């Protein structure tokens, strides 16, 4: 394994998630996903992390084939399995729910999680826009 900086790890994870959507989903769903990724950092800063994440779940309406849920699951996977916080938040690598995790930790941990999500989203937003966003001429 190549020794990567944390920023490179974020970029690689974000790219993996984007490429998976690009290769396995309809173009319109990828375009929708890119739009949700683009708006999420502002939603987090305006409404708070917990509410922004809960809104993604609510918008998915229990559908596994909804881009809102994909985004939530991609963030959850980064934070609980790949990020520097994963060992502290999920030492046993269990299948946990991110909202439950943030509710069970103190304010400082909540702020660290939020900062890490925002940092990961910076890469994810750029890559989702580059690979998934459809030119306006191709949109229905």
CATH number of the domain within which 12 lies? 1.10.520.30
pLDDT tens digits along 94-126: 999 999 999 999 999 999 999 999 999 999 999
**Radius of gyration over every alpha carbon of the chain, rounded to an integer in angstroms:** 15
**83 in any annotated domain:** yes
| pLDDT over threshold 80, residue 137 | no
**81 in any annotated domain:** yes
**140 in any annotated domain:** no
| pLDDT over threshold 70, residue 26 | yes
Total number of domains constituting the chain:
1
pLDDT tens digits along 74-99: 999 999 999 999 999 999 989 999 99
pLDDT tens digits along 27-71: 999 999 999 999 999 999 999 999 999 999 999 998 999 999 999
**105 in any annotated domain:** yes
Closest to 14 (Cα-Cα) out of 65, 88, 74: 74
**138 in any annotated domain:** no
**82 in any annotated domain:** yes
**How far is residue 74's CA from residue 52's CA, in Å, rounded to a whole number?**
14
Range of the domain at 88: 7-132
**How far is residue 5's CA from residue 137's CA, in Å, rounded to a whole number?**
38
């Amino acid at each position: 394994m190549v020794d990567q900086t944390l920023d490179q790890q974020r970029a690689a994870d974000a790219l993996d998630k984007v490429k998976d959507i690009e290769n396995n989903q309809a173009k319109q769903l990828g375009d929708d996903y890119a739009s949700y990724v683009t708006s999420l950092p502002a939603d987090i800063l305006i409404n708070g992390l917990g509410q922004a994440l809960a809104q993604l779940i609510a918008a998915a309406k229990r559908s596994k084939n909804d881009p809102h849920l994909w985004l939530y699951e991609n963030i959850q996977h980064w934070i609980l399995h790949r990020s520097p916080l994963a060992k502290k938040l999920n030492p046993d690598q269990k299948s946990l729910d991110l909202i439950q995790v943030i509710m069970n930790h103190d304010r400082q941990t909540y702020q660290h999680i939020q900062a890490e999500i925002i940092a990961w989203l910076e890469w994810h937003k750029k890559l989702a826009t580059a690979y998934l966003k459809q030119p306006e001429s191709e949109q229905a």
